[in-house]
Amino acid sequence: MLTSVLDLSPIPEGGTPADALANSVALARHAEALGYTRYFLAEHHNMPGIASSATAVVVAHIAASTTTIRVGSGGIMLPNHAPLMVAEAFGTLATLHPGRIDLGLGRAPGTDGLTARALRRYASSADAFPQDVAELITYLDAEPGSLPVNAVPGAGTRVPVWILGSSTFGAELAAAFGLPYAFASHFAPAALEAARDIYRERFRPSERLAAPHFAMAVNVFAADSDDEGRRLMTSQMQAFANLRSGRPGPLPRPVDDVDAVIGRALRPLVDEALKVNAVGSPATVRDRLAAIVARHRPDEVFVVGAIHDPAARLASYTVAARAMAELEALAAA
């Protein structure tokens, strides 16, 4: 079982996009030193609290700031882009950083309808997602110069492609294409078990992947005590409530009474969306991760932690890495 990082490069309340990107570099270097496998960044647009909108650019910056950890997209929202341009961008990244680049793909726009129109892409683009994935893989796998239209750089790089999803659609597609699959259980856990089972049961081996590789995202907020871990999580809870209320903004500072901020009416929605979590002291986080791993048997866990204070975020990822290492050691014993 592998342990990786999913980062949205959150812009902290009182901070700037430059602060967020610097924090991401610091976290990536920290994750590399701790032995995390991958560092994925997500594409979102018109979000005042997210600095990773130009995802390929940020992937390049993180890859150039590290040496061994794999870096990639979690993900590129393919309906926003022409497959050829994605193949060229990630082919360039793979040429600059051989053996270290991954390409995760999603079919949501990563934004609202108005912004999707500003991107010059429309809702119908998502309908062509399977065909666009196939076209993109063709560009990456083809021998240079073998196609009427070639990705330069890109052709022959065979950049590893992942399918991301929060529903059973992505699971079915990843299984049919024989690709690794990552489920967005950190904010949309409703279909987790169904997607997990569909992917494993329907997986067809491909030239890219011989056996299913299922990954899931887990919110981790670790601190010295359970109370402090829960307090750290209030930043993510507020951010989610603000987004659902149509008021996205920077990542809020943690609070002692989150109900007083988000309101009791929204609390059940927030709790349900963020319920795949490990929150609290190191012992509590380890036990919670153990339960999640035992239930879902993932091949890889992506740790997600939108924590306002950069030092607290680094400390939380340290606890998560140690907890996962303990679980792996126990499984191997």
Q: What is the pLDDT of residue 109?
A: 63
Q: What is the pTM of this model?
A: 0.95
Boundaries of domain holding 318: 2-217+297-325
Does some domain include residue 89? yes
List C-alpha distances in Å: 16 to 9, 54, 231, 251. 11, 16, 23, 11
Does some domain include residue 58? yes
Among the listed residues 58, 74, 70, 68, the one whose alpha carbon sits nearest the alpha carbon of residue 25: 58
**Model confidence over 203-253: pLDDT tens digits?**
999 999 999 999 999 999 999 999 999 999 999 999 999 999 999 999 999
Q: What is the pLDDT of residue 121?
A: 62
Output the domain CATH number for residue 152: 3.20.20.30
Query: Distance (Å, rounded) from C-alpha 188 to C-alpha 208?
Result: 28
**Contact in structure between 175 and 181 (CB atoms under 8 Å):** yes
Decide if pLDDT at 255 tops 90. Answer: yes
Does some domain include residue 239? no
Residue 277 contacts by C-beta under 8 Å, 6 or more apart in sequence? 218, 219, 220, 221, 233, 288
Tell me the pLDDT band of 125, cut-offs 50, 70 and 90: low
Q: Side chain identity at 227, as an amino acid letter?
A: D
Q: What is the DSSP string of 215-267?
A: EEEEEEEE-SSHHHHHHHHHHHHHHHHHHHTT---SBPPP-S-HHHHH-TTTH
Instruction: Locate 117 and state its tokens.
Output: 């129109």
Instruction: Locate 230 and state its tokens.
Output: 């829960």
Does some domain include residue 110? yes
Query: Distance (Å, rounded) from C-alpha 212 to C-alpha 5?
Result: 20
Decide if pLDDT at 164 tops 80. Answer: yes
Tell me the pLDDT band of 330, cut-offs 50, 70 and 90: confident
Query: Distance (Å, rounded) from C-alpha 307 to C-alpha 313?
Result: 5
Domains held by the chain: number: 1
Q: What is the pLDDT of residue 64?
A: 98
**Contact in structure between 185 and 217 (CB atoms under 8 Å):** yes
State mean pLDDT over 127-142. 95
Does some domain include residue 178? yes
Does some domain include residue 198? yes
Q: What is the pLDDT of residue 127?
A: 82
Decide if pLDDT at 124 tops 80. Answer: no
List C-alpha distances in Å: 121 to 113, 118, 125, 137. 10, 8, 7, 21
**Model confidence over 272-323: pLDDT tens digits?**
999 999 999 999 999 999 999 999 999 999 999 999 999 999 999 999 999 9
Paired with 39 in beta bridges are 5, 71
**Model confidence over 47-72: pLDDT tens digits?**
999 999 999 999 999 999 999 999 99
Decide if pLDDT at 123 tops 60. Answer: no
Does some domain include residue 246? no
Tell me the pLDDT band of 333, cut-offs 50, 70 and 90: confident
Q: What is the pLDDT of residue 289?
A: 98
Handedness of CA 231, 237, 241, 247 (dihedral sign): positive
Q: Cα 266 from chain centroid?
A: 24
CA atoms in the 13 A half-sphere facing the CB of 297: 5
Q: To the nearest whole percent, how much of the chain has pLDDT over 90?
A: 89
Q: Provide the Cα torsion 299, 191, 168, 81; round to 10°.
A: -80
Q: What is the pLDDT of residue 331?
A: 83
Does some domain include residue 179? yes
